[in-house]
Structure 1
Amino acid sequence: MISKLEKFPNEILLNIFSYLSWDDMLISLWSLNERFNSLVRSIFSMSKNGIIFNKPGLSYRTFSSILLPLICNSLSLSSSIKYIHFGGINSSSCDLINIFFFYNTNKQRISFPNLRSLYITECSLSQTLIQTLSMLIQHQLNHLTLILDGDGFNLSEDSQEHLFISNKSNQ
Structure 2
Amino acid sequence: MANLLVYVNTLMKPYYKYIVFAFFVIVFILVSKYAYEQYYVRPKKVEKVKNVANASSILPIMAVYFFHVEWCPHCVSAKPEWDAFQEQYHNTELNGYLIQCHDIDCTDDNGEEVIQVNPKTNENTDISPTPIRISELIKKFKVDSYPTIKLTKDDLMVDFEAKVTKDNLTQFVNSV
Report if TM-score (shorter chain) is over 0.5. Answer: no
Normalised-by-shorter TM-score class: under 0.3
Q: Could you state the TM-score of these two structures normalised by the residue count of structure 2?
A: 0.23
Q: Could you state the TM-score of these two structures normalised by the residue count of structure 1?
A: 0.23
Structure with greater proportional strand content: 2
